[in-house]
Amino acid sequence: MNVEVQPKAYEKRAAEFIASRQQMLIGGAWVDAASGETFEVENPATGQVIAHVPSGDGADIDAAVKAARRALSGPWSKLTPAQRAAMIWRMSDALEASAEEFALIETLDNGKPFTAALNGDLRTCVENMRYNAGWATKLNGEQINPSSPTALLAYTMREPVGVVGLIVPWNFPLTMAVNKLSPALAAGCTVVLKPAEQTPLSALRLGRLVEACGFPEGVVNVVTGFGHTAGQALTDHPDVDKISFTGSTEVGRKILRAAGGNFKRVMLELGGKSPVIIFPDADLDKAIEGASRGIFANTGQTCAANSRLYAHRSVFDRMLEGISERASKLRVGDGTDAATEIGPVVSRTQMQRVLGYVESGRSEGASVAVGGQRRGDQGYFVEPTVLVQTSRSMRVVQEEIFGPVLCAMSFEMDDLDRIATEANDTVYGLSSAVWTRDITTAHLMARKIKAGMVRINGGGVDHALPFGGYKQSGWGREYGREGIEAYTELKTVAVAM
Ligand code: NAI
Ligand code: MG
């Protein structure tokens, strides 16, 4: 019997959305780019063009910033924190109800497996909205006792920082947008969101959802476009109060420079080259599982990816064997296939970049324990890869590859300071992982590592935990109280008594 498989309702909705005319959301209106230009959106699993979106530039950014500025003093500013919280919560409910549609859009645009998009990205987005909705009503200042014997009543209060530009990357397109959007809205800001040119679709779909949830016009604007045009215009704009950026360290540096024009506040979440350190007393099965997930999940396109493995000499072979076995068994394929564990990288450029790093490692004396090749000739698939015989001077050990490539190294010594020195020996300092059963070793390493996060025995990221980088991994923190306070200005009021 030949049973015809009907597309599921969410598959139809995602297909209809992607096929529909894509426009940008500016001041409550759906518009084309002022220039009339568009650019192509590609599915990295097939290399096929699936949509065309407006190529916004300075003129569109200017219109969006003006709309956001108007909205800042409009009905939005009259809402109480509780009303803002309710509106953000409503948005989370709407997103949850459409989670499968959004997940499929993410799969088709970014390449990630549908199940990962649904159970990872979408769940995270819904939770992030709810976590930050809770903060809207809890942004307090404090009463401060003056230090000198003057009669003063003094207190601080928090006000929204103003119009915020959100510039997000392509590795977690919706998640990165939501991680910035929800605290910004909870704090009472208005925003211009610029998604990455590789993955603009979920942000445009989010624009429709925001609109349906009743946010006043201009509170959320979505402008699609390239980094050097739309992104740069947003960063340069004299009427933007803050930029929240996640992406490369190189662009982070450009943003810092541009922000100097009007002293915009800047939050930068940049690259990483995070170490995972395995002590001989670790639970090795769990460490193998954790270290593998830490580098291969999301095809290694994760800012906090554990891309440098340091295992004690006595457990190195066992770790290498375990991770290599996993790497070779992971099912690489189209994210719409339910069996797929690892999708393609996001673009041809990224594939060439990752394969170029593997080549560079080889030429500097590393060898490939497993993987190292492109998979197939359609789409942008790269095999999960482990490099050995790597050392600290090599580019593959120093630079962010942003692909499924692990550099595996062993350490001889038992001196924690020397291990930490090796682990800290890059310009980055975003995250790190330590595996040991010894609580003293664990906490001593936590002190010695120069990174914004130390994950012990598989501890992970959570909306309540501040996340961000030391050194060239960034400025400021996202998530938690620090994450939302970053969308406020602190004002001090001093009353002579
Ligand atoms: P990118 O930093 O160029 O892109 C991130 C965002 O910045 C995009 O929205 C882009 O349009 C925007 N942008 C680019 N130039 C800009 C400018 N001059 N002004 C304002 N905005 C601008 O990253 P790209 O080129 O896509 O990826 C290159 C490498 O960057 C990756 O291989 C990876 O190493 C790193 N990266 C790190 C990420 C992270 O999560 N930390 C995310 C994405 C990339
Ligand atoms: Mg794409």
Domain ranges of the chain: 9-270+475-493, 275-462
Please tell me if the CB atom of residue 246 comes closer than 6 angstroms to any atom of ligand 1.
yes
Residue of the CA atom closest to atom 22 of ligand 1: 227
pLDDT at 414: 84
Q: Which residues surround ligand 2, an ion (CB under 5 A)?
A: 42, 109, 198-199
376, amino acid identity: G
Closest listed ligand to the CA of 48: 2
Question: Regarding the domain with residue range 9-270+475-493, which homologous superfamily does it belong to in the CATH classification?
Answer: Aldehyde Dehydrogenase; Chain A, domain 1 (3.40.605.10)
Query: Which tokens sit at 179?
Result: 């991680």
Please tell me if the CB atom of residue 474 comes closer than 6 angstroms to any atom of ligand 1.
no
CA dist 181 to 34, 240, 243, Å? 25, 15, 12
Please tell me if the CB atom of residue 137 comes closer than 6 angstroms to any atom of ligand 1.
no
Best residue for ligand 1 mutational test, from 65, 251, 428, 453 (most atoms within 8 Å of Cβ): 251
pLDDT at 407: 98
Cα separation, 465 vs 483, whole angstroms = 9
pLDDT at 460: 87
pLDDT at 366: 98
Residue of the CA atom closest to atom 43 of ligand 1: 247
Q: What is the pLDDT along the chain (497 residues), one digit of tens a residue?
A: 556 778 999 999 999 999 999 999 999 999 999 999 999 999 999 999 999 999 999 999 999 999 999 999 999 999 999 999 999 999 999 999 999 999 999 999 999 999 999 999 999 999 999 999 999 999 999 999 999 888 999 999 999 999 999 999 999 999 999 999 999 999 999 999 999 999 999 999 999 999 999 999 999 999 999 999 999 999 999 999 999 999 999 999 999 999 999 999 999 999 999 999 999 999 999 999 999 999 999 999 999 999 999 999 999 999 999 999 999 999 999 999 999 999 999 999 999 999 999 999 999 999 999 999 999 999 999 999 999 999 999 999 999 999 999 999 999 988 999 999 999 999 999 999 999 999 999 999 999 999 999 999 999 889 999 999 999 999 999 999 999 999 999 999 999 99
Could you tell me if 398 and 426 are in contact, meaning their C-beta atoms sit under 8 angstroms apart? yes
Paired residues of 192 in beta bridges: 165, 221
Ligand 1 atom at minimal distance to the Cα of residue 168 = 9
Q: Tell me if domain 9-270+475-493 and domain 275-462 are identical in fold.
A: no
Domain 275-462, classified CATH 3.40.50.800, yes or no: no
Closest listed ligand to the CA of 354: 1
Please tell me if the CB atom of residue 100 comes closer than 6 angstroms to any atom of ligand 1.
no
Give Cα 16 to chain centroid, integer Å. Answer: 27
Closest listed ligand to the CA of 39: 2
pLDDT at 214: 92
Please tell me if the CB atom of residue 183 comes closer than 6 angstroms to any atom of ligand 1.
no
- The set of catalytic residues is 269, 303
414: three-class secondary structure by DSSP: coil
59, amino acid identity: A
Ligand 2 centre to CA of 170 (Å) is: 8
Ligand 1 centre to CA of 169 (Å) is: 6
Ligand 2 centre to CA of 78 (Å) is: 38
